[in-house]
Amino acid sequence: MNGGADWSSREDMAWQRLAGQGELTEYQRSMIKRDLEMGMVMSVFRQRVERLTVQVVTETRQVAWTRTADKTDGVCGYLSEMDLFEIREVRPGRNSKDFERFRDGKDKHDGNTCFTIFYGSQFVLNTLSLGADSVEDAEKWLTGLKLLRQETLAAPTPAIIESWLRKQMYSINQTKKNSLTLKELKALLLQINYKAPNSRALKDKLTEVGAKKDHLDFAQFHKLYNLIMFEQKDILEDFKRESCTFIMGSTDRPDASTVLLHDFQRFLLYQQREPWATDVNLVKELMTTFIDDTMRKTNDPEFTVSEFLSFLFSKENSVWDEKQSQISTADMNNPLSHYWISSSHNTYLTGDQLRSESSTEAYVRCLRLGCRCIELDCWEGPGEPIIYHGWTRTTKIKFEDVVRAINEHAFVTSEYPVILSIEQHCLVEQQKQMARIFTEVFGDKLLTEAVEHMAEQLPSPTQLKGKIILKHKKLNLEEGISSKEFRKGQKQGDLEIWDPVDQRWNKHYCIISNDKLYYAEEYEPEEEDPREYQDLHCSEAWFHGHMQEGTQAAEKLLYEYSVESGDMDGIFLVRKSNTKLTGFTLSFRRSGRVQHCRVSSRVEEGRSYYYLTTSLMFPSLYALIQHYRANPLRCQDFELRLTDAVPQRDPHLLQGWFYPNLCRGQAEDYLLRIPRDGAFLIRQREGEADTFAITFRGDGKVKHCRINKEGNVFLLGNSTEFDSLVELVNYFRKKPLYRKIKLRYPVTPELVSRFSTEKDCASLYEMKTYVEPNEIEPSLPVNSARALYDYQAKRHDEHTLTKGALIHNVTKELESWWKGDYNGRLQLYFPANYVEEIASNPNQERIEQETEDNPLGELCKGIVDISKCNIQHLTSGKNKKSQVLSLQERGQESLQFDLAADSLEELFEWYQIKQQEEVAKRGVVALEMSDLVVYCQPRSKEKDRFDSYNYKEVRSFVENKTPGKSQTQKFLQYNRKALSRVYPKGQRVESSNYDPHPLWAAGCHMVALNFQTADKYTQLNSALFTLNGCTGYVLQPEMMRFDTYDPQPEKRKVKLNLVIRVIAARHLPKLNRSIVSPFVEVELCGHTEDNKFKTAVFRENGLNPAWRTPAEAAVLPVYEPELTFLRFVVNEEDMFSDPNFLAQATFPVRGIRTGYRSVPLKNGYSEDLELASLLIYIDVEQVGKTEEALYTSSGQLQKKQAAAAAGSEPFLYDSQRYALGRQTSTYDRQKAKEKKINNSKFY
């Protein structure tokens, strides 16, 4: 990464220059925004530099870019767009990878005119790198984007809904069209996760909103949306009960009755427990935000029932108390050892631990997410240090680039200290370079001296503001710091393995260890931008390939399609040219006639471009057609936009995977011969002309799924539509059909024949030489036991056990003392009452053992036992590869497992298959590096002994080697004084994470997680560090600093009960083509029991599902509110009844608000999902308080309301915010608590 000014300072300077001095005036703001709306022609740096028009679309709150020639008449076909709320950073200068491609001097843009927009909702962000024509234009964009993003994030929910509706309307054909046809509306409703009950019901709604001739303008579309969302009106029945704070009138129609100002105020005060609602002016202000009729925004506003319902789902009614997200500066004055510190593991990685990309942007992303402890894995590089995951195929990045990136972004989100955890693998000379780079780049930010020399405790975050702390070995900490690193002789790298099913070589990452060859999944080529993918047109419905009768066949198809669908201009198809070898022909219908246009191509700088006119060229045929579907094709005599694609007639009949006459039993027989998940065929069901079935292998079993043909559409399941079976197959080649399985191996008659005659292919699997993951069953030693508790050895012939440890080859030598093998130590004693016996080969233990011993962990695809094989070097090669090794199982010489390498030398290394010991000798720690270390001095010896320690030290533990139960109190005492860090075990090569909660409860400060992985544990981490202003520092509860605190569950007591009812949801995300069937799982994470429940599945509705049953609420006990998290997970049930993750929301219990509340949903990476939310009822009961103290009876509640209405001030509840409006009796709650709801899975 190039050096450059800090983004915020450059942006502030731009702001000041545009404002003169001081703040921008409202006029200056409006002029900047107007210029951005008008659009500017800029250079866009992608695969090549293009001149495009970039503009802000205020109606949809987006930034869009389009070809300059297309920006006419207010109708624009966007090449692409981004949402303003997804912008994470705008970085000035030529500071992104996009610019690095163009360092050849041809690009004349100065760094001051360039900037990059980083946007997206995944860990790895998208980039739009731009070069403006002047510094002034660049500064306008820097300032304008900041303004617009601030406005977007602060926009009220009704404004966001309006821009979302505009976005949906424009998305139909990528134009700023302000009307919809009925056909377009049906497609749009499917797109937003809604399936209309039937055509009649939809037409009735259209009549109600005033639509004429099956066309809707935007106002009518908005009304239709409100009608559809009001289908959740049954929710409002809760507000018709006498116990409610106000009695709601009729809810037959959206405007059937109203909620008056003072009724709404009482609702906020007594049901929602909002103390600010004592100010009626604030209540008025909130109400007018949700009233869409200007005439009703009076001094005495009132809600329609529809508007009240919208409020309930809004972010303004969130279950989370935003005050808990504010920084508490008073809490930042304790020693560092009193805090949880947001920490990342192998921060440089963007994916798995073996093959993914290392990137400086991963550091930037983590720092901007508030992470305060990041890891630098430093290795010897060519002339300078590098960072990567040693001994793997992860890419390498320069150490200096990483340091500069840290310097620029360390304190953008949080001003509190950053800890750099250095994994040192460099020799002395490059360590000296590291020290020099740290000193030169960080300058005064680098902490090199103690804050207080006579102190006996760590300094506070406040004392260390803006400081960078190095965690690294220090020469005076331990004697003999010089070290030798030993790495057992594993051979690892890339090999190609011959696939007898696919009949091709596939590249795999392989490791040889302990006489076994472990190999990962084959490499799949990285997906390119579909607009630039040369062959993407081949899977499109409009592409017909070579048509024998050419022009006549095309005209016939277009005519037949126009008769079926109505004679409309713009229907089209594309075919290969009959006259030009590399050309194509576009055929379309206009004014009752068919016209043909030649699509030409040319090659420039090694890349192909396609065009109708040389003034406008495209990187692929697909991109050309997409462009003319969004923008008019202009000729001298006419303008026309391409509309519907004319598909081929039954293209599946030409495919080898389609069988018109194959029964279910024969299909299963064919699939059972092909021993691969992802093998598939499609067959016509017997005696049913319009019904098909896809038969495929998944998890080692043969599965079937029905496909119905309805008109011209093929329907998989109930709502997933495809224009053809070919389109269906192409779609599920890229997207998983079942769990993680994609369609991979078409079961053609040729493949079936080959597997019927060639014994080798199938037998190779049967002999377990070449196996799938679901077939790997390494046998565990017999007589195994699992530790139920931690046990600390008292004698040298005893095992020290941690809870969950597996002991094998157990012998019951004495009744109370058994012997067994554990942790590499054989036949030592352990107490029998500390363990439980387990079956010799249960599935869970098999998985644990396999993962623990497997160097590829869950990434492993298969294992070959080399000790059972003869190895032969095929000097003459095989299957077009010149360098091949063949492994043959002894006694089965006909079975071969073939490996190929890129060179003879590399193959020879693999050929020498034996255990070697590779010794990498490292020199002593460089004095220059040692001098930079002050507080975080690692201790590597006797880490689990806590009888003496220094507050300046830090102890690091792998997740499964942390101090056991017997040392809990000593570990807690240590953590009150000095720092500890925990990191994932080495087998987590897929970058999975472990549960951080038990470690937080034990006082561990830096619980390092793989931020690039979206899972439950990073979501818990994100929830914890939402507290205290996302500073990355959260003060541990005061109770943890007393000796009476014990994190073990045996001594805990219930302090709170959460009473929760899931009512409904809105705007759930859509995973694929099908409408989702959602259900919600609710879980308490922490020291809890009976801690989860789930709703029923709501079929085919992701826009506005509502769960009215069960009516009773669930009761979840909370033992430690300060250490407990409330987690909502929305899954969808797919056609195979498997759950698939849709969204989640995770909150610390301490910040939960009561009443009828909205739960704003986030994606797996804890980024906001636009408008997605749940509606719940939640009550917080403090255990031990009387019913009178909680004011729960309806009589008491009415008395309090009456008193409030008569007095000068409304009644205010205490600050504990324990809920008042419980909808269930004590008996009902107890019944709900005792009821076993389910055993749910969480993803």
The b-or-e profile of 800-811 (16+ CB within 10 A means b, else e) is bbbeebbbbebe
Q: What distances in angstroms separate CA 1017 from CA 166, 520, 1163, one per listed residue?
A: 36, 25, 13
pTM reported for the whole predicted model: 0.81
Of residues 841 and 174, more confidence is placed in: 174
Distance CA 1234, CA 1241 (A): 20
- Tell me: the pLDDT tens digits for 713-734? 899 877 788 888 998 998 999 8
- Indicate the range of 7-11, 330-334, 1123-1127 predicted with least confidence: 7-11
597 - beta bridge partners? 586
Do residues 482 and 825 lie in contact, with contact meaning Cβ atoms separated by under 8 Å? Answer: no
Distance CA 4, CA 401 (A): 12
Cα-flanking dihedrals φ and ψ of residue 237, to 5°? -60, -30
SS3 per-residue string spanning 298-341 = CCCCEEEHHHHHHHHHCHHHECECHHHHCCCHHHHCCCHHHEEE
Q: What's the pLDDT score for residue 1203?
A: 47
Residue 525, judged by CB atoms within 10 A of its CB (0-12, 13-18, 19+), counts as: exposed
Rounded mean pLDDT, 1185-1206: 42
The band of 1240, judged by pLDDT with boundaries at 50, 70 and 90, is: very low
- Tell me: the pLDDT tens digits for 801-845? 887 788 887 888 777 788 888 876 778 888 888 888 875 544 445
Q: What distances in angstroms separate CA 855 from CA 379, 496, 752, 822, 887, one per listed residue?
A: 21, 19, 35, 19, 21
Rounded mean pLDDT, 155-183: 87
Tokens describing residue 909:
């290394």
Q: What's the pLDDT score for residue 775?
A: 33
The band of 947, judged by pLDDT with boundaries at 50, 70 and 90, is: confident
Q: What's the pLDDT score for residue 1186?
A: 42
Tokens describing residue 531:
């607009």
E runs forming strands in 592-648: 593-604, 607-613, 616-618, 633-634, 639-640
Distance CA 511, CA 866 (A): 12
Q: What's the pLDDT score for residue 1185?
A: 54
Do residues 1118 and 1054 lie in contact, with contact meaning Cβ atoms separated by under 8 Å? Answer: yes
Is pLDDT of 1187 > 50? no
Cα-flanking dihedrals φ and ψ of residue 863, to 5°? -135, 135
Sign of CA dihedral 214, 216, 221, 223: negative
Q: What's the pLDDT score for residue 533?
A: 47
- Domains in the chain, please, with CATH? 7-154 (2.30.29.30), 179-317 (no CATH), 334-475+927-1039 (3.20.20.190), 542-640 (3.30.505.10), 651-757 (3.30.505.10), 774-861 (2.30.30.40), 1052-1234 (2.60.40.150)
Q: Is the peptide bond before 660 cis (omega within 30 degrees of 0)?
A: no
- Tell me: the pLDDT tens digits for 1002-1024? 999 999 999 999 999 999 999 99
Is pLDDT of 776 > 80? no
Report DSSP state, residue 84: G
Ranges 364-368, 553-557, 941-945, 1178-1182, most confident: 364-368
Kindly report the length of the chain.
1243
Distance CA 935, CA 455 (A): 12
Q: What's the pLDDT score for residue 104?
A: 62
Which residues are CB-contacts of 126 (< 8 A; sequence separation ≥ 6)?
82, 118, 119, 120
- Indicate the range of 116-130, 490-504, 757-771, 1144-1158 predicted with least confidence: 757-771
The band of 608, judged by pLDDT with boundaries at 50, 70 and 90, is: confident
The amino acid sitting at 789 is Y
Residue 1039, judged by CB atoms within 10 A of its CB (0-12, 13-18, 19+), counts as: exposed
The band of 1111, judged by pLDDT with boundaries at 50, 70 and 90, is: low
Is pLDDT of 1192 > 70? no
Distance CA 905, CA 883 (A): 10
Output the average pLDDT for the chain. 84
The band of 893, judged by pLDDT with boundaries at 50, 70 and 90, is: low
The b-or-e profile of 737-755 (16+ CB within 10 A means b, else e) is bbeebbbbbbbbeebbebb
Q: What's the pLDDT score for residue 67?
A: 78
- Tell me: the pLDDT tens digits for 1060-1101? 999 999 999 998 888 999 999 999 998 766 688 999 999 999
Residue 760 belongs to what H/E stretch?
A: helix 759-766
Report DSSP state, residue 801: B
Which residues are CB-contacts of 560 (< 8 A; sequence separation ≥ 6)?
none
Do residues 435 and 926 lie in contact, with contact meaning Cβ atoms separated by under 8 Å? Answer: yes
Q: What distances in angstroms separate CA 295 from CA 301, 311, 599, 840, one per listed residue?
A: 10, 19, 56, 76
Q: What's the pLDDT score for residue 567?
A: 66
Ranges 441-450, 639-648, 916-925, most confident: 441-450
Apex CA 1021: angle with CA 1015 and CA 1025, to 5°? 145
Q: What's the pLDDT score for residue 20?
A: 53
- Tell me: the pLDDT tens digits for 963-1009? 988 899 999 999 999 999 999 998 899 999 999 999 999 999 999 99
- Indicate the range of 103-107, 393-397, 585-589, 754-758 predicted with least confidence: 103-107
Do residues 1147 and 1175 lie in contact, with contact meaning Cβ atoms separated by under 8 Å? Answer: no
The band of 940, judged by pLDDT with boundaries at 50, 70 and 90, is: confident
Rounded mean pLDDT, 120-141: 95
Enzyme catalytic residues:
345, 389
The b-or-e profile of 874-892 (16+ CB within 10 A means b, else e) is beeeeeebebbbbbbbeee
Q: What's the pLDDT score for residue 859?
A: 82
Q: Which residue carries 């821009």 as its tokens?
A: 163
Do residues 1125 and 1060 lie in contact, with contact meaning Cβ atoms separated by under 8 Å? Answer: no
- Tell me: the pLDDT tens digits for 843-886? 445 555 556 678 888 788 888 888 888 888 888 889 889 889 88
The amino acid sitting at 685 is R
E runs forming strands in 774-813: 784-787, 806-811
Of residues 911 and 1145, more confidence is placed in: 1145
The band of 296, judged by pLDDT with boundaries at 50, 70 and 90, is: confident
Q: What's the pLDDT score for residue 463?
A: 97
Cα-based torsion angle of the residue sequence 275, 279, 281, 287 in order, rounded to the nearest 10 degrees? 30
Cα-flanking dihedrals φ and ψ of residue 358, to 5°? -90, 140
- Tell me: the pLDDT tens digits for 73-99? 333 456 789 999 999 999 999 999 899
Tokens describing residue 1058:
């959460």
